[in-house]
Amino acid sequence: MTNSRESDRICSSYLVSSLLMIHFKFKGKWELLKTMPPERLQQLRKVATIESIGSSTQIEGAKLTDIQIGTLLFNLASTSFKTRDEQEVVGYAEAMDMVLQAYKDLHITENHIRQLHQVLLRHSTRDERHRGTYKTLSSQVVAMNEQGVEIGIVFETTTPLDAPREMEGYLAS
């Protein structure tokens, strides 16, 4: 069973990978969407943003609903991000926005991934020490029941020792 500190570190690389998948999917399909009316596109982007952020942050244990995420994202000016869930959602939204704004010219490099990781964790006070860097502690993705109790290990993540080599291989493929 993992402790809270280890659980906090689980899958930040998964979020970056999610952003990259969004980038590659979006890059190919965006041209087709340009023919839609602008107001419909804006509506679709809001829904896709909320659902993507919700799904990705819930994998990390965030408990915010899509309604809460939507409220948070569209009232950013008047919000201080007190909870880890809020900090994570806002960081994910900012990183996702960077990818969506630059998708035409984005050629993924290790530096881009580190930058996205830094943006992803920008608001997280607990993650300040490892923003934009490779992990230094081992972690695993765990399944939790409705009460928040760990019920099993889903998979072991790449070890800290292997992370740089794995990233190099990922980028080369």
Write out the two tokens for 102.
Answer: 């630059």
Lowest mean pLDDT among 17-31, 57-71, 73-87, 132-146: 17-31
45's enclosing H/E stretch is: helix 38-59
- Mean pLDDT score of the chain: 78
In this prediction the pTM is 0.66
Mean pLDDT check: name the lowest of 84-93, 96-105, 146-155: 146-155
Which residue's structure tokens are 């590659």?
A: 24
Ranking 25-29, 81-85, 120-124, 151-155 by mean pLDDT, the lowest is 25-29
- pLDDT, average across residues 82-98: 87
- DSSP-assigned letters across all residues of 100-156: HHHTTT----HHHHHHHHHHHTTT-GGGGGGTTS---S--EEEEE-TTS-EEEEEEE
- Give the sign of the dihedral formed by CA 97, CA 99, CA 54, CA 110: negative
